[in-house]
Amino acid sequence: MARPKVLLLATQDTKEVEARFLREHLTAYGCEVIHLDASVRRTVGGAEIAPEEVAGAAGKTIGEVRALGHEGKCIAVMIEGAVACALRAHAEEGLAGALALGGSMGTALAGAVFQALPYGLPKLIVSTMASGFTAPYVGRKDIAMLNAVTDISGINSISEEVYRNAAAAVAGMAAHYEPKARAEKPLVLVGTLGTTEKCVRRVREALEEDGFEVMVFHTSGAGGPTMDSIAADREVAAVLDLSLTEMVDTLFGGLCAGGPDRGRAGLTKGVPTIVAPGNVDFIIGGPLEAAQAQFPGRRYHVHNPALTAVRTNLDDLKRIADHVAGLLAEAKGPVRVFVPLGGFSNHDSNEGHIHEPDLPAPFADYLRSVLPAGVTLETRACHFNDPEFADAIVAATRELVRERAPA
């Protein structure tokens, strides 16, 4: 049986001892190693993909890279080349896993390379950055990071255990990696939070019974942008944007902002889209005292010690409506909007703590007035989490997909 092939990403000009240690252990654990060495300072030798090849994949010689004399410019070139080399290695060799180690520079390199590799392929970075802000390195991909604990500078009694565990983890994952072809089922992407999960669960189960593959994303800052990236990259039957939290937090400075492009990818690609204002009743603030300082004079619900739901008012909702209308104006495919008149989340319900029953109707009226021509808005006299509302979303999804299906 062929040994699983693992891409090892380590720069030997500064991490020669550590790279050799990982290679030895990956080999001992039954893997075939393909070492990609993106070193700039010097070429040590022994790597299957040498620095010269990495630089060449970016259109430069390694001498030209060194002559740049600027670490930021050098790493940018080597990242470009390393991504190209890694993708070629995967296409030609069929990788079953990937392991990297590094400090800030090596982690930036590894993060860019691993984000270019496909979902499902095991990816682990041992990093001195793993105990801090990891979002730039993980991006939207399924990348695991392991805290190096000590600096990556030789082998000591702690780092030896960390590196051996990393090699064993990747070897184990690689041994059981089973690449799968993309499902032939039509794909539906859905956004939610726990506060709208009851609705989304009913939607998901109904669409799965119809034969759809349904991917649900937690819209807490990264989930929505990930959903957008998949809408841009894959063939998608429909996007159900049922939690607008990341748009709300982008507008008002909440903790879960998804950025100004949140929701745009599927619309501009022409993917049939349904939008419903799940969770627009609150901005996500920090601990209560911080939320009160940032958003004074509001109603608050302490969701947990770290997060406070800050109630939006009608002016806020109108601003959200303007933002949504601006996004929908860019749509190249069919769009439908649904607004429940009984509340937008668990918090905005008879059982919730920041319910404002008089706000959904004027919000719906204002949103209807600013929507671009051709976009219909339907209201339902129920709560977002009521079965009636979920069933309306399901019926509309079926109609949009049927209308777009080839004759």
The pLDDT assigned to 134 comes to 87
- 312-329: string of b/e by CB count within 10 Å (b at 16+)? beeebbbebbebbbebbe
Cβ-contact 44, 15 below 8 angstroms: no
Give how far the C-alpha of residue 202 lies from the chain's centroid of Cα atoms, to the nearest Å.
24
The pLDDT assigned to 182 comes to 64
Please check the confidence at residue 267 and state whether its pLDDT lies above 50. Answer: yes
Q: What is the distance between the alpha carbons of residues 314 and 113, in angstroms, rounded to a whole number?
A: 45
Confidence band, pLDDT 50/70/90 cuts, at residue 1: low
Instruction: With H, G, I as helix, E, B as strand and everything else as coil, classify residue 379.
Output: strand
CA-CA distances (angstroms) from residue 93 to 5, 6, 232? 7, 10, 27
Amino acid identity, residue 51? P
Give how far the C-alpha of residue 185 lies from the chain's centroid of Cα atoms, to the nearest Å.
22
Confidence band, pLDDT 50/70/90 cuts, at residue 70: very high
pLDDT in tens, 189-248: 999 999 999 999 999 999 999 999 999 999 999 999 999 999 998 999 999 999 999 999
Among 181-195, 219-233, 308-322, which is the least confidently predicted range? Answer: 181-195
The residue ranking higher by pLDDT, 134 or 370, is 370
Positive or negative torsion for Cα 174, 92, 184, 201: positive
Which residues are registered as beta bridge partners of 187?
213
Which superfamily, per CATH, for 5-175? Uncharacterised protein family UPF0261, NN domain (3.40.50.12020)
Confidence band, pLDDT 50/70/90 cuts, at residue 131: confident
Question: What's the average model confidence in pLDDT over 357-376?
Answer: 96
Which residue bears the tokens 């702690």? 158
Amino acid identity, residue 12? Q
Structure tokens at 364: 């719906």
Q: What is the distance between the alpha carbons of residues 40 and 62, in angstroms, rounded to a whole number?
A: 7
Torsion of CA 398, 402, 405, 407, to 10 degrees: 160
Question: What's the average model confidence in pLDDT over 160-180?
Answer: 95
pLDDT in tens, 94-107: 999 999 999 999 99
The pLDDT assigned to 233 comes to 87
pTM of this structure:
0.83
The ranges assigned to domains in the chain are: 5-175, 187-404
Rg (CA), the chain: 25
* 292 dihedral zone (left: phi>0; alpha: psi -120 to 50; beta): alpha
Q: What percent of the chain has pLDDT over 70?
A: 98
The pLDDT assigned to 407 comes to 47
Which residue bears the tokens 């800052």? 221
Same fold, 5-175 and 187-404: yes
The pLDDT assigned to 3 comes to 95
Chosen CATH of 187-404 out of 3.30.450.40, 3.40.50.12030, 3.40.50.300, 2.60.120.10: 3.40.50.12030
The pLDDT assigned to 375 comes to 95
Helix extents (H) in 94-131: 104-116
Q: What is the distance in angstroms between the CA of the first residue and the CA of the last residue of the chain?
A: 46
Q: List, in order, residues 6 or more apart from 120 with CB less than 8 Å away.
A: 142, 177, 179, 180
> Mean pLDDT score of the chain, rounded to an integer?
95
> How, if at all, do strands 5-9 and 97-102 pair?
parallel
Question: What's the average model confidence in pLDDT over 290-318?
Answer: 97
The pLDDT assigned to 150 comes to 94
Q: What is the distance between the alpha carbons of residues 249 and 286, in angstroms, rounded to a whole number?
A: 12
Closest CA relative to residue 88, chosen from 111, 119, 58: 58
Question: What's the average model confidence in pLDDT over 252-281?
Answer: 97
Instruction: With H, G, I as helix, E, B as strand and everything else as coil, classify residue 211.
Output: coil
